[in-house]
């Protein structure tokens, strides 16, 4: 997958599949300090020590995996890009996956369409709450479905009126922080 | 813009919902497992959200699932409609997503060329 934002979706989907009802995503890019940090933290079913060990070892997976996807890829990428990759998890409590990379690394995929990634995930996550905190070169933007749902009640986030609002809202915030639009 | 603006939207939508009570709800689910994402599921999901917005489809919910093993024909899309069997589409692109909205969701005729399964 040629964009880091697609890998972010992948990590969020792992958290959803683990039955989480809240996922906290932190994305930080810094041009001067030359790093990218991605953290996805959830309150899903978690993993025991054995499971964690198996997950980031590509030879342990039972399924046939395409190269360039999933957790083993992110781990390899962090090694290629002078960064690090960690999974902290506790059975029954949740999981925190962190990826740290040197931003200028030639092997690092570009961040890609992070604005639309945040918009589509926020608008289509029905049973789980999602918070995104995106920071670029010192400016940040935050959106949290818990706050949105508090105001909206039972109205789905994919209601057309709500979609129009969310799209404009996210667009405006991105302009403000000078992110990709 | 402030999130508080959503409060007016809520009032407006609740009013509309009261008028339309009892109408069928359609759910569009996009498969977002790893292979789905790699095959372009994000663009498909985005297209459905755009179409719902453009056509003002208030009775439609667009959502996604990370569950895997659904099909090798990613990206897959499931259309669930009350009292009708689930329709599963395979190899969906943004263009096919637009057709699914126009032909199936709005006019009630599934886009049969891309249907890979009809559920219970
Ligand atoms: N956030 C998480 N919470 C709990 N378990 C997780 C989490 N992330 C990964 N896992 C475990 O690690 C396994 C491997 O994850 P990985 O993303 O590599 O593959 P997958 O999600 O099983 O399949 P795919 O992503 O190809 O659809 C998962 O099946 C799950 O058991
Ligand atoms: Mg996965």
Give domain limits for chain B.
3-118
Q: Is the CB of B36 under 6 A from ligand 1?
A: no
Instruction: Determine the pLDDT at residue A1.
Output: 79
pLDDT at res. B24: 55
State pLDDT tens for residues B40-84: 999 999 999 999 999 999 889 999 988 765 568 999 999 999 889
**How far apart (Å, rounded) are the C-alpha atoms in residues A109 and A144?**
26
- How many Å apart are CA A117 and CA A114, to the nearest integer? 5
Q: Residue A137: which residues within 8 A CB-CB, separation 6 or more?
A: A29, A30, A31, A32, A178
Burial A71-92 (b: 16+ CB within 10 A, else e): bbbbbbbbeebebebebebeee
> Residue A27 is encoded by which pair of tokens?
């994305």
By most ligand atoms within 8 Å of CB, the mutation choice from A1, A14, A98 for ligand 1 is A14
pLDDT at A181: 45
Tell me the C-alpha to C-alpha distance, in Å, between residue A57 and each of A11, A47, A140: 16, 15, 34
pLDDT tens figures, A25-55: 999 999 999 999 999 999 999 999 988 888 8
**Closest-CA distance of chain A to residue B60, Å:** 7
Matching residue, tokens 């959106």 = A143
A157 exposed, middle or buried (CB, 10 Å; 0-12, 13-18, 19+)?
A: buried
Q: What's the CATH number for B3-118?
A: 3.40.30.10
pLDDT greater than 90 at residue A24: yes
pLDDT band at B10 (very low <50, low <70, confident <90, very high): very high
Give the closest residue to B26 by CA, choosing from B106, B112, B113, B92: B106
Residue tagged 């009775």 (tokens): B59
Rounded-to-integer distance, Cα B91 and Cα B93, Å: 7
State residue A150's pLDDT score. 95
The radius of gyration of chain B's CA atoms, rounded to the nearest angstrom, is 15
Q: Please check the confidence at residue A63 and state whether its pLDDT lies above 60.
A: no
Model confidence at A99: pLDDT above 90: yes
Q: Which ligand 1 atom is the nearest neighbour of the CA of A44?
A: 3
Q: In this predicted model, what pLDDT tens digit does every residue of B78-105 receive, in sequence order?
A: 999 988 999 999 999 999 999 999 999 9
Choose the closest CB to A165 out of B9, B37, B68. Answer: B9
Give dist(CA A11, CA A72) in Å, integer.
12
d(CA A130, CA A144): 6
Using a 10 angstrom Cβ sphere, with 0-12 exposed, 13-18 middle and 19 or more buried, the burial of residue A127 is exposed
Number of the ligand 1 atom closest to the C-alpha atom of A97 = 1
3-state helix, strand, coil in chain A (%, to 5): 40, 25, 35
Tokens for A119, please give them.
């918009």
d(CA B104, CA B116): 15
Tokens of B95: 């263009």
Structure tokens given for B84? 């009708």
Cα–Cα distance, A117 to A46 (Å, whole number) = 25
- Structure tokens given for A144: 């949290």
| Nearest CB to B49 within list A10, A125, A163 | A163
Q: Output the pLDDT for position B72.
A: 80
pLDDT in tens, A126-180: 889 999 999 999 999 999 999 999 999 989 999 999 999 999 999 999 998 875 5
């Amino acid at each position: 997958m040629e964009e880091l934002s697609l890998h972010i979706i992948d990590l969020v989907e792992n958290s959803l599949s683990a039955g989480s009802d809240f996922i906290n995503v932190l994305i930080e890019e810094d041009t001067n300090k030359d790093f990218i940090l991605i953290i996805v933290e959830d309150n899903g079913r978690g993993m025991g020590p054995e499971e964690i060990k198996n997950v980031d070892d590509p030879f342990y997976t039972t399924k046939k995996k395409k190269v360039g996807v999933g957790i083993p890829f992110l781990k390899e990428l962090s090694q290629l890009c002078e960064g690090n990759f960690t999974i902290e998890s506790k059975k029954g409590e949740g999981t925190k996956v962190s990826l740290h990379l040197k931003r200028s690394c030639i092997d690092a995929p570009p961040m890609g369409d992070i604005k639309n990634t945040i918009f589509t995930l926020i608008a289509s996550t029905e049973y789980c709450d999602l918070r995104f905190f995106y920071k670029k070169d010192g400016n940040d933007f935050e959106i949290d479905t818990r706050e949105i749902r508090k105001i909206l009640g039972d109205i789905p986030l994919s209601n057309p009126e709500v979609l129009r609002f969310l799209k404009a809202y996210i667009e405006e915030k991105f302009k403000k922080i000078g992110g990709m639009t | 813009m402030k999130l508080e603006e959503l409060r007016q939207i809520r009032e407006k939508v609740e009013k509309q919902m009261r008028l339309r009570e009892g109408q069928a709800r359609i759910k569009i689910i996009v498969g977002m497992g790893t292979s789905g994402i790699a095959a372009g599921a994000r663009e498909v999901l985005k297209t459905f959200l755009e179409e719902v917005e453009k056509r003002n489809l208030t009775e439609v919910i667009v959502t996604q699932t990370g569950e895997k093993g659904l099909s090798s024909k990613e990206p897959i899309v499931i259309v669930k409609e009350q009292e009708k069997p689930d329709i599963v589409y395979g190899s969906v692109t943004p263009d096919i997503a637009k057709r699914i909205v126009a032909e199936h969701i709005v006019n009630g005729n599934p886009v049969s060329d891309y249907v890979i399964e009809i559920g219970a």
